[in-house]
Amino acid sequence: MTTTVVGWLWWTKSIAFMHTAVVQFGVESTEPDDGTLTAVFIDVEASELDLTKTAERLARTRGGSAAGYESDLTVTSAVDVSGLAVTARGRTPGRAQALAIAAAEALSSYLSDVSPSGARTFTYTVVDQGN
């Protein structure tokens, strides 16, 4: 007599790892330095559009659906710097980190495309938070 046990590892579906990458904002002047002191303050607030556009770009570059990416990502205002924090959820630490970095790069690309041009240009730098 043979007994077969079929089971499902339900707990592997419920484990999630989180990782955050930040898109830091900066400003560069496109004009020569005239010696005057100039201050620029950047106040950043995350919007639903940031998440939507990030997910759409990920779907185009990595495959899959934008809705699938949206469910695994959050975009919030960064705490310690001027910028936006992208937090990704993954089944392994490596997948969460890879998705967070790819999403931050997609968000940076989107922001670069919609930034106004003029005497000063915005810069966007992706920084892995290493968590």
Please list the alpha-helical segments (H only) found in 24-119.
48-62, 66-72, 93-114
Task: Let me know: does 64 contact 99? Beta carbons within 8 Å.
Answer: no
pLDDT in tens, 73-111: 999 999 888 899 999 999 999 999 999 999 999 999 998
pTM value? Answer: 0.79
Distance from C-alpha of 49 to C-alpha of 75, rounded to nearest angstrom: 10
Q: Which residues contact 28 (CB under 8 A, 6 or more apart)?
A: 120, 121, 123
Q: How many C-beta neighbours within 10 Å does residue 116 have?
A: 7
pLDDT in tens, 45-72: 888 999 999 999 999 999 999 999 999 9
DSSP code for 79? S
Distance from C-alpha of 131 to C-alpha of 79, rounded to nearest angstrom: 15
